[in-house]
Structure 1
Amino acid sequence: MNPPTTRRHFLSTLALAPFTVRGQEAKNFPPTRIITKGPGFHWFAYYDKLQFSPDNRFVLSNKASFEGRSPTGDDVIEVGMVDLQEKDKWIPLGKSNAWNWQQGCMLQWIPGTESKVIWNDREKDKFVSHILDVKTGEKHTLPAPIYALAPNGKEAVSCDFSRVADCRPGYGYAGIKDRFFDEMAPAGSGVTHVNLETGTEKLIVSHELLAKTGEVMENHPDSKHHAYHLLVGPDGKRFIMLHRWTQPKGGHLTRLITANMDGSDLRIVIPNGYASHFIWRDATHILSQGKNWLGNPEWGDFLFEDKDSGIIEEIGHGVLDGGGHLTYLKNNEWILNDTYPKGVRRIQTPHLYHIATNKRIDLGEFHLPREYTGEWRVDCHPRSSRDERWVCIDAVPEGQGRQLHLIDIQGLLT
């Protein structure tokens, strides 16, 4: 996700060895190794999807043949997985022609299955999704793309990826023109519900409805409305969306909104135009970055109750980074997070935060070279293994381009 430019600071890095990260031991960081290598550039992208197989043996990844520019409609990437028990062997699974640098092609394991993965692709003039059983090789294609899966593994919510590409370059897909390019808040596009068993896709929240719901501050005649950054709650009953609308001088404002899985009962959780990375803590609470809450004029991490006039609490003020990508661990006692590049050396710092003691444990320092900026920057986007033994991040080892790094956090969540 790409918060306002003023939130991002840029830096430099330590040199990274091919398999272990040099300099990590000097500051007593946990062991880290690089599990992908060239030729090609590997990354998983976002932080809120299942990257590790149920047995934690296989780690999903995208693989590109280039870096440093926007994807075109002709660019195809490979999707595959790393076998941690076979010397980090790369296993190709398929291809995708529907992807971006920040969120890949939505490659992820399907919840509740032992060996099924899903990812988005484009077939001629339509975005689709493929479901593959990595054990049997059985594959079938759904006539709709997905964004976020429900915990039951049987349904998903999705967005209009062409619209997102139009309004927010770097998060949509190239290759298909926005059907509603000239409309500011189209009634014919928005958030959709996808049945993973039948492939049926249904529009449940239109951009027109979002633009008419509640107060939309600084909604100009040429403000284009779009919705994405979707995430289904842990009980599968509601989902989060970010409703964004462009501003005449560039940028956008944002509201965080929740709804039932059929699009009913819209609730504006963050109404003030400033919302960014978020995660469900449980079925009724959302940890999100925001600003101008509880007397804090800066960006911070706030826990919102998904309820009208719900309780708001700031978490980790001054300790938990206010710009990173958040995941709860160990029965919601810990938070896994990262930072954008900071300082002259452009250092990214994934970290663990213990809520009860306000303690932070940094997991490493990773340099992001200056050419990795804007749309094709490399955020760490930390993801935990299912057993919470490992953290996988995207980072740039010296001279190797983006690659997957595996951090051993055994014994830290105590």
Structure 2
Amino acid sequence: MSGWRLTKLTQSLAESGGISHSYYDIPVFDEPGAQIIAHRLPFTMRHPGAEDAVEIGLVGCNAAGPDNFQIIGESRAWSWQQGPMAQWIAGGPRVVWNDREDGKIVARVKDTLTGDVRTLPGQVYAIDAAGKTALSLDMTRLDALRAGYGYPGGVAPDGLSRAPADDGVWAMDIETGHRTLLLDIRRAVGFMNKHRGWRDYIKRQGLRVHYWFNHAKISPDGTRFTIKLRWRRIGRGWDDRQGVSLTCKMDGSDLRFLAPATSHVIWLDSERLYFWQRNALRLYLDSAPLGTMLHQMAPDLVTANVHMRHLDDGNLFVLDTPYNEKIDVITWDAAADVSQTIATFTGHVPKSGPFRCDLHPCPSADGKRIALTSLQDGARDVYLLDRMG
């Protein structure tokens, strides 16, 4: 017995685009863990256009079947890997998702109890735990430089500035919509250059790479954020070595270089972060000016890149084995160094590329439930793992 019960919450037609939650590092559960915010897709196996819409809906965690999707809105700003970034604000009852209005990316804030909807002037990526401040990125730049994660409709890649000083990570007040540029891309690149050496800088300059931000995440105490700075030559491939993780205060000060070649970075607490790096899962201290590696995590268990979240105070973790047709969901007890496979999903074709379906295991606030999206029955559907006892 795994100690977890698996339930398929939604039922999509095999020929449809299916139903999915947005991403694994944002709050897709409400505070009680009773509802998951998700989106219903209109098609599969092609990139969305600026006019292609998904339906935003609520999935009940104590129900199942084809009717378990309560439509509350729609979005024309979404991607295959991160959806419209639909998430709960401070546990509810308000939710937020990204949309498009008059050619610009905006955010819709909806009160799920009253039905009231407000529009914010910028897109939302991450929100602090208090529900007061959101971090925004230029998702059209992201789409132009890495399809599958951002939103279409922006400037073509060869028309983009390589390292703009007027774009980057923005803070947006959830109530007023006021936006402040915290960290511009040019500043981030200059800071990175100081810590990677002139040889690396000259190489990137010679290649005339373009830079972009992705994966903004706010620390649990709301004082700092981490951001991934990446680069590539237009039209050329890239890998995780072409990227670094930085951290910064929420007022834009105290910029720090966390680590190079990072992937799937998560705050464990307000001082430590864990992530995949090159060939291992590592725990780092957010020290200044450079991050400090504390130790490798689960060296006998994790031998390839994973999506991982902690379920409690940092002793119990859940992870998947992505980029495979058969994907396992595993819990790992860090204190005892004991792991257990709690679910297995098959049929994940394609297993890689922009149209793949990652499970993206995302825990509820109390760690007793895990939301997942799987292709196991032919279309994307939302599944739930319930912790028993």
Structure 2 counterpart of 1:42, from 11, 15, 19: 19
Equivalence for 1:324:
306
Report the residue type matching 1:278 in the other structure.
V
Report the residue type matching 2:121 in the other structure.
P
Say whether residues 1:242 and 2:228 are aligned partners: yes
Say whether residues 1:68 and 2:45 are aligned partners: yes
Report the secondary structure of 1:135's partner residue.
coil
CA contact (8 A) 1:191 1:228 kept: no
**Deviation of the 1:201 alpha carbon:** 1.4
Say whether residues 1:307 and 2:293 are aligned partners: no
Report the residue type matching 2:249 in the other structure.
N
Say whether residues 1:220 and 2:198 are aligned partners: no
Equivalence for 1:140:
118
Structure 1 counterpart of 2:181, from 203, 206, 221: 203
**Deviation of the 1:179 alpha carbon:** 9.3
Report the secondary structure of 1:365's partner residue.
strand
CA contact (8 A) 1:224 1:246 kept: yes
Once the two structures are superposed, the pairs formed by residues 3-402 of structure 1 within 5 Å of their partners are 30-39=4-13, 40=16, 41-87=18-64, 89-111=68-90, 113-177=91-155, 181-215=159-193, 216=196, 217=200, 218-221=203-206, 222-247=208-233, 249-252=236-239, 253-270=242-259, 272=260, 274-291=261-278, 299-308=279-288, 309=290, 310-320=292-302, 322-342=304-324, 346-371=325-350, 373-399=352-378, 401-402=379-380
**Deviation of the 1:371 alpha carbon:** 3.4
Report the secondary structure of 2:172's partner residue.
strand
Deviation string for 1:140-196 (max 9, x for gaps)? 111111111011101011111111111111111012336983421111211111111
Structure 1 pair 341–29 and aligned structure 2 pair: CA distance change class (3 A): farther
**Deviation of the 1:247 alpha carbon:** 4.1
CA contact (8 A) 2:264 2:276 kept: yes
Report the residue type matching 1:397 in the other structure.
Q
Q: Structure 1 length as normaliser, TM-score?
A: 0.85
RMSD: 1.9
**Deviation of the 1:278 alpha carbon:** 1.3
Deviation string for 1:83-123 (max 9, x for gaps)? 23454622101000000010011100001x53110000010
Deviation string for 1:28-85 (max 9, x for gaps)? 6843121111244011131111111122211111111211111111210001011234
**Deviation of the 1:409 alpha carbon:** 2.4
Report the secondary structure of 1:251's partner residue.
coil
Report the secondary structure of 1:204's partner residue.
strand
Report the secondary structure of 1:31's partner residue.
strand
Structure 1 runs, 4 residues or longer, greater than 6 Å off: none
Alignment partners' CA distance in 2, 1:139 and 1:261:
27
CA contact (8 A) 2:106 2:121 kept: yes
Report the secondary structure of 1:214's partner residue.
helix
**Deviation of the 1:333 alpha carbon:** 0.9
Report the residue type matching 1:60 in the other structure.
I
**Deviation of the 1:332 alpha carbon:** 1.0
Alignment partners' CA distance in 2, 1:118 and 1:369:
29
**Deviation of the 1:339 alpha carbon:** 1.0
Which blocks of at least 5 consecutive residues in structure 1 are unaligned? 1-24, 292-298
Alignment partners' CA distance in 2, 1:120 and 1:99:
7
**Deviation of the 1:321 alpha carbon:** 5.2
Structure 1 pair 34–155 and aligned structure 2 pair: CA distance change class (3 A): same
Alignment partners' CA distance in 2, 1:206 and 1:153:
23
Report the residue type matching 1:239 in the other structure.
F
Report the secondary structure of 2:358's partner residue.
coil
Structure 1 pair 369–150 and aligned structure 2 pair: CA distance change class (3 A): closer
- 44-53 or 307-316: bigger deviation: 307-316
Report the residue type matching 2:265 in the other structure.
F
**Deviation of the 1:363 alpha carbon:** 1.6
Structure 1 pair 317–103 and aligned structure 2 pair: CA distance change class (3 A): same
Deviation string for 1:351-371 (max 9, x for gaps)? 111101111111211113433
Structure 1 pair 33–319 and aligned structure 2 pair: CA distance change class (3 A): same
Structure 1 pair 333–319 and aligned structure 2 pair: CA distance change class (3 A): same
**Deviation of the 1:323 alpha carbon:** 1.0
Structure 1 pair 179–375 and aligned structure 2 pair: CA distance change class (3 A): closer
Q: Structure 2 length as normaliser, TM-score?
A: 0.90
> How many residue pairs get matched?
371
Which blocks of at least 5 consecutive residues in structure 2 are unaligned? none
**Deviation of the 1:264 alpha carbon:** 1.3
